[in-house]
Amino acid sequence: MNSAASDTNPISLAHVLRPRSIAVVGASADPRSFGGFVQGNLERFGWDGQLHLISRSSAELNGRPCLRNVDELPEGVDLAVLAIPEAGVLDAVKSLAARRCHAAVLFASGYAEAGPEGQVRQQQLAQVARDAGLVLVGPNCMGFTNLADGVPLTFEPLAARAREERPGVGIVAQSGFMAANLRDALLARGVPVTCVFSTGNEIAVCVEDALAHYLEDPQTRVVTVYAEQLRRPRQFLQLARRARELGKPVVLLMPGRSARAREAAQSHTGALAGDHATACALLRREAVVVVDSLDELLDTSAVLLRHPAPPAGGTAFMTGSGAMKNIALDFAEDLGLPLPALTAPIVERLEAMLPSYARAENPLDYTTLGVRQPGLIGELLLTLQDDPRIGSLVLAIPVGPSVAQRDKADHIVPAIGRATKPAVLVLTGDDSPIEPFFTEAIRASGVPLFRSADRALRALRHVAAHGEALQRAARAAVDAPPARPLPGAVPPNGIFAEYQGKRWLAQAGIAVPAGRLAASADEAVRVAREIGWPVVLKAQASELPHKSDVGGVLVGLKDEAALREGWRRLHDDVARHRPGLQLDGALVEAMGPRGLELVVGAKRDADWGPVVLVGLGGIWIEALKDVRLLPADLAEADIVIELQRLKAAAVLRGIRGEAGVDLQAIARVVAAIGAQMRANPQLQEIDINPLVAYPAGSALPVLALDALVVATPH
């Protein structure tokens, strides 16, 4: 395992991003070589530090003397750029270490991304650097460009740029291609970028180190991340928490939802993908904005740069087209983005401005009002902003002819620029031309511009989720209750038998059916007489977590004769399927009343920590997979909100005359399971399937019919 795999303190990037002295190893007279590109970038950007060129073929380049090898460098150079093939890298790094160089950027590929032999080469390189205290960036990376300080250390030829002085976006990506793509896309939109950092295989410097730097950089307001794997997950979560405290949004695209994407990540970066769903749930807990596409990564970063702390609430959509209004309604519903009804005071104010034939509602179609009174559109938008139900706004209008663009530049753009909630401008017409004065007005205002209403609504869905996440984080449980003792000595396989797991659930305040373990048919009959007929009979052993598969569960046993026959049949079936298995006995339980079957579970990810799961249970979890994966510290009120986001939420609320189930009681179970997972690191997995839920007001609102508890053996 390389040094990047453990959760350590972030590596300081001061010598890397703001070097006073740079050595280019592999300097060349060929302007199209990697070394030539680095030299050209430094010259075009006017970097004025101490530059050392190392070349075996040239005594001087562009009037600068060259050294023949690394051994001729002065001691203590801040940063070396290795623009040489992989075959010479290890020796060069050893020499740099001997000259007490602080850091090095490695462009070369052929390491962990190339398979087992490459992994060995990467481990050797990492060991040399660690022993010398040399910070390595890469390998297999494109380097970085610090636009705020004018330090372009990448093999990609860059046009000269003035140093960025505005607050902007800091970019970090494991992929050099993606780092450059994000940079170019944001700059083309007029979005300021402070620094672009490519980490490659992350032999030492990881995404987490760049994130830590950006959080303490006063000029970076938003951090945009592309990562195929977060190698220090707990550190990333800590940094995300710090980002939330500082009010700096972190926007993340992390492919890996599909099996093929996870395989591609291994071959591309040498990364082993973790549990993507677990990671996303816990990242969102810390208000990281986890997006699903590259467009969303760019668009959401641009909006959050202007509004880093958005309020929670739905979106108001404004347009002068009934057709666009209808499209927005459908698309927002598909996204799960609320377009809330307006409050009465806002409706009254809008009606005073709108013509009689226009309806004061959300989405708002103001008809042709803007043709004669363009300034009124801005007043409508600022009025909508005052509605407490509204968290963000979209204005979708055509580009129009030059005279109309002048009206929009002079009246509409300034109004959007005064919005205190996230507000974006959509200019429809795809690639229809925008006059230079209009473009300049938009960029000067800082208003996020879109050419697609779909992309605008997708971005605002993430902006709204970020506002909600900021509020949710403040409500999350801070401390877990004391850990309840486990049901007994942990079996060698870590799995407690059902009767043990249910005993533990009951102690945690979760209702289970009446009953107990029986060691004989006679004892089973006595238990059944105490709890009442009919009963359920279940074989019990740590090695038998899936009892039904071997005939180990019998239901609806109505009397003593049925129970005795069931006892014989159950033991015969288990013995036939699992010869030699020693049962602890059989669990005799009262039949629970019918209700809505749910699943509530929890698991501990070795890298990310615990999460809980809730959704439809029984056979439906396999058929529909309608579940929500949640942080283990979510407040009960927020768990209720998540229950209402299930696809089957209507079933929970009650349909076709059926009463809804007690959502608060379900939330209490989820919260209790999450609390115990947080309090007891030995717990690895809990599964209650089904948890039967009943209508609110029932004497017994929930009942755990089956339970699996797994812990780490000592």
- Residue 70's alpha-carbon distances to 56, 95, 135, 205, 654, in angstroms, are 10, 6, 17, 22, 75
**DSSP conformation letters of 83-109:** -S-GGGHHHHHHHHHHTT--EEEE---
How much is the pLDDT for 269? Answer: 27
For residue 576, the one-letter residue type is: R
Q: pLDDT digit string (tens) for 411-422?
A: 999 999 999 999
Residue 648, judged by CB atoms within 10 A of its CB (0-12, 13-18, 19+), counts as middle
d(CA 100, CA 496): 56
Sign of CA dihedral 611, 617, 621, 626: negative
pLDDT at 407 exceeding the cut of 50 = yes
55-70 confidence digits (pLDDT tens): 988 899 988 999 999 9
Task: Give 552's DSSP letter.
Answer: -
Which whole number is the average pLDDT over 479-485? Answer: 84
pLDDT at 63 (0 to 100): 86
Mean pLDDT of 322-344: 95
Question: Over the stretch 659-684, which tens digit does the pLDDT of each residue have?
Answer: 899 999 999 999 999 999 999 999 99
pLDDT at residue 45 greater than cutoff 50: yes
Helix axes of 636-643 and 453-475: crossing angle, nearest 10 degrees = 150
Determine the average pLDDT of the residues in 437-465.
96
* Alpha carbon of residue 25 to chain centroid: 38
Percent of the chain with pLDDT over 70: 96
β-bridge pairing 314-319 and 390-398? parallel
Those residues whose C-beta lies under 8 Å from the C-beta of residue 499, and which sit 6 or more positions away, are: 516, 517, 540, 584, 585, 587
End-to-end CA gap in the chain:
25
Task: Give the β-pairing of 585-590 and 535-540.
Answer: antiparallel
Using the predicted structure, report yes or no on whether residue 657 has a pLDDT greater than 80: no
Residue 88 has pLDDT above 60, yes or no: yes
pLDDT exceeds 50 at position 267? no
What are the CA-CA distances from residue 463 to residues 189, 221, 466 (Å)? 19, 15, 5
Tell me the sheet residues that pair with 21. Answer: 50
Helix (H, G, I), strand (E, B) or coil at 633: coil
pLDDT at 264: 44
Q: How confident is the model at residue 257 (pLDDT cuts 50, 70, 90)?
A: low
Q: Are 138 and 107 in contact (CB under 8 A)?
A: yes
Are 501 and 487 contacting, i.e. CB atoms less than 8 angstroms apart?
Answer: yes
Count the residues in the chain: 714
Average confidence (pLDDT) over 423-446: 95
pLDDT at 500: 97
Task: Give the residue with greater pLDDT, 442 vs 268.
Answer: 442
Q: Kindly indicate the confidence band of residue 300, based on its pLDDT and cuts at 50, 70 and 90.
A: very high
CA distances from 298 to 226, 308, 563, 703 (A): 11, 14, 65, 46
pLDDT at 5 over 90: no
pLDDT tens digit sequence for 245-255: 999 999 999 99
pLDDT higher than threshold 90 for residue 259? no
289-311 average pLDDT score: 97
pLDDT class of 274 with cuts at 50, 70, 90: very low
| Residue 265 pLDDT greater than 70, yes or no | no
Give percent of the chain with pLDDT exceeding 90: 86
Q: Which two tokens stand for residue 680?
A: 């007891």
Residue 374, both tokens: 């363009």
Give per-residue pLDDT as tens, 535-579: 999 999 999 998 999 999 999 999 999 999 999 999 999 999 999
Asked if 283 and 466 count as a contact pair (C-beta separation under 8 A), the reply is no
User: Does pLDDT of 4 surpass 50?
Assistant: no
Calpha distance 68→26 (Å, rounded): 10
pLDDT of residue 6: 46
Least confident piece of the model among 190-194, 481-485, 522-526, 669-673: 481-485
What is the average per-residue pLDDT within 628-651? Answer: 93
Listed residue (599, 604, 652, 654) closest to 627, CA to CA: 599
What's the confidence (pLDDT) of residue 547?
A: 94
Which distant-in-sequence residues (6+ apart) come within 8 Å of 635 by Cβ?
472, 475, 476, 477, 671
Least confident of 262-271, 525-534, 601-610, 615-624: 262-271
What pLDDT digit, counting tens, does each position of 686-701 carry?
Answer: 999 999 999 988 999 9
For residue 368, what pLDDT is reported?
A: 86
The average confidence (pLDDT) of the chain is 93
Please report how many Cα atoms fall inside a 13 Å half-sphere around the Cα of residue 542, on the Cβ side: 13
- E strands, 384-453, are 390-398, 423-428, 449-450
526 and 508 Cβ atoms separated by less than 8 Å: no
Distance CA 343, CA 339 (A): 12
pLDDT tens for 190-244 read 999 999 999 999 999 999 999 999 999 999 999 999 999 999 999 999 999 999 9
| DSSP states along 189-241 | TT--EEEEEE-TT-SS--HHHHHHHHHH-TTEEEEEEE-S--SSHHHHHHHHH
Does residue 479 register a pLDDT over 80?
A: no
pLDDT in tens, 9-35: 899 998 899 999 999 999 998 888 999
Classify residue 585 as left (phi > 0), alpha (psi -120 to 50) or beta: left
Q: Which pLDDT does position 7 carry in this prediction?
A: 57
Under the banding of pLDDT at 50, 70 and 90, the label for residue 163 is very high
- DSSP letter string over 316-338? EEEES-HHHHHHHHHHHHHHT--
Q: Which residue has the tokens 């060129």?
A: 53
The answer on pLDDT for 268 being more than 80 is no
Q: Could you tell me the pLDDT band of residue 317, with boundaries at 50, 70 and 90?
A: very high
Question: CA triplet 380, 384, 387: central angle to 5 degrees?
Answer: 155
Q: Residue 167 and residue 222: Cα distance in Å, rounded? A: 9
User: In this structure, are residues 305 and 221 in contact, taking their beta carbons and an 8 Å threshold?
Assistant: yes
pLDDT of residue 62: 84
**Angle, vertex CA 606, rays to CA 602 and CA 611, nearest 5:** 25
